[in-house]
Amino acid sequence: MTYDLILGDYAYSSWSLRGWLLLHRFGLPYRVRILDFSADYSVAEQMADLAPARTVPTLITPEAAVVSDSLAMAEELATRHPEAGIWPNEPRARATARTLAAEMHSGFGALRGDCPMNLRTAYTGVVPSEAVLSDLARIETLWLHARATCAPDGPWLCGAYSAADAFFAPVAARIAGYDLPVSEVARAYVAAHLNDLAFRRWRAMGLVRGATLSRYAKPYATVSWPGPIPRPARAVESGAPENTLCPYSGEAVTDLMESEGRIFGFCNPFCRDKTVSDPDAWSAFTALRDNAP
């Protein structure tokens, strides 16, 4: 049972990030089709073959059902894969997680509009509007309520990572990327997302796939991304790789990367470049690197 997942640009499409996390973070099988946000024709036009879908993310089930809403995706996937843990098992935590995801799905228009997700840059000196500050206050209320209600042992809102956390991942990216004012408790939750390997993989792909789109830029001073500093790596044209097969596809290597004096090979430029962006984010690569004789 493999799903087809239609996504927008990795760097800018916050809803796509939510949809992707619902499959990737919970270990469900999927194939990706990426739409071009820089194209002269709209997302809906690019999805003409998937009517009635017109937005991303859209999920196509193995039976060819079209699920074109992220909250519907969460519920459908949870029904099909109860073992995955998309919603918490404990009833009170599950109800709380569903409430949080639903409010995120329908609200916080000021934060969305004023601070569009942009994983290619981060800003300083941002002065949020009163409407954005109101959204942030409400978000903190929800996060504090979840932690008080569910008493999680770890960093996530309702216990183990759930759909509620997937829905708030782009919010964490906005708070971090625009350096928005929140409490230390909220900053700890944001940091959990920035350090999450799935989030880091998504951002690594966003740095190397697609164009930099000026319509998402804001007139603030830019700073380094506030997440983990990636291990140094660079693409190289020649060298003797330690591996003959790509750690992701198992196919013969054609494109090379150097990191800390070592050469590794990949089956295509995208496999290489996403690894260059954040080598430690990719478990298939780190297994190769760290277990080499």
CATH code: domain of residue 191: 1.20.1050
Q: What is the pLDDT of residues 227-256, one digit of tens each?
A: 999 999 999 999 999 999 999 999 999 999
Q: Shortest CA distance to 202 belongs to which of 25, 63, 84, 53?
A: 25
Residue 286 forms part of a structural domain? yes
pLDDT over 80 (residue 293): no
Within this chain, do residues 99 and 170 fall inside the same structural domain, yes or no?
A: yes
How far apart are alpha carbons 75 and 193 in whole angstroms? 22
* CB neighbour list of residue 82: distance below 8 Å, 6 or more residues apart: none
Q: What is the pLDDT of residues 60-96, one digit of tens each?
A: 999 999 999 999 999 999 999 999 999 999 999 999 9
Q: Shortest CA distance to 280 belongs to which of 208, 225, 205, 201?
A: 201
In the block, residue with structure tokens 């499959």: 23
- 245 strand-pairing partners: 252
* CATH number of 72's domain: 3.40.30.10
- 256 strand-pairing partners: 236, 265
Within this chain, do residues 36 and 119 fall inside the same structural domain, yes or no?
A: no
Q: What is the pLDDT of residues 137-178, one digit of tens each?
A: 999 999 999 999 999 999 999 999 999 999 999 999 999 999
pTM over 0.95: yes
How far apart are alpha carbons 177 and 154 in whole angstroms? 23
Within this chain, do residues 71 and 103 fall inside the same structural domain, yes or no?
A: no
Residue 209 forms part of a structural domain? no
* Residue that is last in its domain, among 61, 84, 107: 84
Within this chain, do residues 246 and 279 fall inside the same structural domain, yes or no?
A: yes
Q: Shortest CA distance to 119 belongs to which of 14, 34, 231?
A: 14
* Residue that is last in its domain, among 176, 201, 226: 201
Residue 217 forms part of a structural domain? no
Within this chain, do residues 191 and 121 fall inside the same structural domain, yes or no?
A: yes
Within this chain, do residues 176 and 135 fall inside the same structural domain, yes or no?
A: yes
| SS3 assignment, position 122 | strand
What total number of domains does the chain contain?
Answer: 3
| SS3 assignment, position 26 | coil
Within this chain, do residues 30 and 12 fall inside the same structural domain, yes or no?
A: yes
Mean pLDDT of 181-207: 98
Within this chain, do residues 172 and 270 fall inside the same structural domain, yes or no?
A: no
Length of the chain: 293
- Which H helix or E strand runs over 32? strand 30-34
Full DSSP string of 67-115? E-SHHHHHHHHHHH-GGG-SS-SSHHHHHHHHHHHHHHHH--HHHHHHS
DSSP state of 233: -
Evaluate whether 34 touches 19 at the Cβ level (below 8 Å): no
| SS3 assignment, position 133 | helix
How far apart are alpha carbons 229 and 182 in whole angstroms? 22
Within this chain, do residues 102 and 172 fall inside the same structural domain, yes or no?
A: yes
Mean pLDDT of 279-283: 98
Residue 77 forms part of a structural domain? yes
> What per-residue confidence (pLDDT) applies to 292?
73
Within this chain, do residues 152 and 175 fall inside the same structural domain, yes or no?
A: yes
| Residue span of the structural domain in which 255 resides | 234-290
> What per-residue confidence (pLDDT) applies to 1?
83
Within this chain, do residues 95 and 31 fall inside the same structural domain, yes or no?
A: no
| SS3 assignment, position 5 | strand
Within this chain, do residues 195 and 241 fall inside the same structural domain, yes or no?
A: no
User: What's the mean per-residue pLDDT of the chain?
Assistant: 97
Q: What's the chain's Rg over C-alpha atoms?
A: 19
pLDDT over 80 (residue 124): yes
CA 11, distance to chain mean position in Å, is: 9
